[in-house]
């Protein structure tokens, strides 16, 4: 939990332990559908009903994945993805970006502390589009 606010981490752990959040450790999403996701665990595949997917892909974005999704990256070595800073929607309608991914290779620009606003912007944009 290096780099995480310890209080935040403890809160997540408490929610998992009490059962209000279900965690699938050592698992991966193998399929994303309009109303569900398939999770491949060590022992089985699980299909979960789902409205939205927020992909938290790690510290350095998976640029190949972004390009496969159709997201435009800057033509320089920074590889900054195209998105609307007001709504956080990428150049692909309905596909939103949040956190460090918004900085491309400039990972020093976004942190937990200054990217928390992204989730609210995305939620407002989705609510306004419904």
Q: Above 80 in pLDDT, residue 112?
A: no
Helix, strand, or coil (residue 37): strand
Could you tell me what percent of the chain has a pLDDT over 90? 55
pLDDT digits (tens, 9 = 90+) for 43-76: 999 999 988 887 765 567 889 999 999 999 999 9
Q: How many CA atoms lie within 13 A of 129 on its CB side?
A: 12
CA pair distance 35, 26, nearest whole angstrom: 23
The predicted structure's pLDDT at residue 1: 37
Paired residues of 73 in beta bridges: 81
pLDDT digits (tens, 9 = 90+) for 4-18: 455 556 778 888 999
Beta strands in the chain (DSSP E): 28-33, 36-40, 45-49
Q: Is residue 46 exposed (0-12), middle (13-18) or buried (19+ Cβ within 10 Å)?
A: middle
Q: Above 50 in pLDDT, residue 2?
A: no
């Amino acid at each position: 939990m290096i780099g995480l606010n310890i209080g935040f981490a403890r809160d997540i752990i408490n929610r998992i332990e009490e059962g209000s959040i279900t965690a699938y450790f050592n698992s991966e999403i193998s399929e994303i559908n309009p109303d569900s996701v398939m999770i491949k665990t060590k022992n089985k595949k699980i299909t979960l009903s789902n409205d939205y997917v927020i992909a938290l892909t790690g510290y350095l974005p998976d640029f190949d994945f972004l390009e496969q999704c159709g997201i435009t990256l800057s033509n320089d070595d920074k590889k900054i993805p195209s998105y609307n800073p007001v709504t956080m929607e990428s150049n692909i309608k309905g596909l939103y970006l949040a956190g460090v991914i918004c900085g491309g290779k400039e990972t020093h620009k976004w942190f937990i502390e200054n990217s928390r606003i992204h989730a609210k912007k995305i939620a407002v944009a989705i609510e306004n589009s419904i």
